Amino acid sequence: MKETPLSNCERRFLLRAIEEKKRLDGRQTYDYRNIKISFGTDYGCCIVELGKTRVLGQVSCELVSPKLNRATEGILFFNLELSQMAAPAFEPGRQSDLLVKLNRLLERCLRNSKCIDTESLCVVAGEKVWQIRVDLHLLNHDGNIIDAASIAAIVALCHFRRPDVSVQGDEVTLYTPEERDPVPLSIHHMPICVSFAFFQQGTYLLVDPNEREERVMDGLLVIAMNKHREICTIQSSGGIMLLKDQVLRCSKIAGVKVLEITELIQKALENDRKVRKEGGKYGFAESIASQRITAFKMEKAPIDTSDVEEKAEEIIAEAEPPLEVVSNPVLWTPGTAQIGEGVENSWGDLEDSEKEEEDEDGTDEAIILDSIKMDT
In the structure, what pLDDT confidence band is assigned to residue 356 with cuts at 50, 70 and 90? low
Encode pLDDT of 299-320 as tens digits.
666 777 777 788 888 888 887 7
Quote the pTM value. 0.74
Please report whether residue 346 resides in a domain.
no
pLDDT, tens only, 150-170: 999 999 999 999 988 888 877
45-51 mean pLDDT: 92
Number of domains in the chain: 1
Neighbours of 74 (CB within 10 A): 25
Per DSSP, what are the bridge partners of residue 333? none
Residue 271: which of 258, 257, 281 has the closest Cα? 281
- Residue of higher predicted confidence among 94 and 204: 204
The pLDDT of 276-288, averaged and rounded, is: 72
Question: Does residue 86 fall inside a structural domain?
Answer: yes
Q: Is residue 20 part of a domain?
A: no
Q: How confident is the model at residue 173 (pLDDT cuts 50, 70, 90)?
A: confident
Residue 367 within a domain: no
Whether 362 has a pLDDT exceeding 60, the answer reads no
Whether 294 maps to a domain, the answer reads no
Q: Which residues contact 222 (CB under 8 A, 6 or more apart)?
A: 105, 146, 193, 194, 195, 196, 233, 234, 235, 236, 237
Q: Which domain holds residue 36?
A: 25-278
pLDDT value at position 293?
A: 52
> Which CATH number covers residue 204?
3.30.230.70
In a domain, 15, yes or no: no
CB 184 within 8 A of CB 273: no
Domain annotation covers residue 313: no
The predicted structure's pLDDT at residue 207:
92
Average pLDDT of every residue of the chain: 81
Question: Any alpha helices (H) in the chain, and if so which ranges?
Answer: 8-19, 97-106, 145-159, 211-216, 244-278, 284-289, 308-318, 352-375
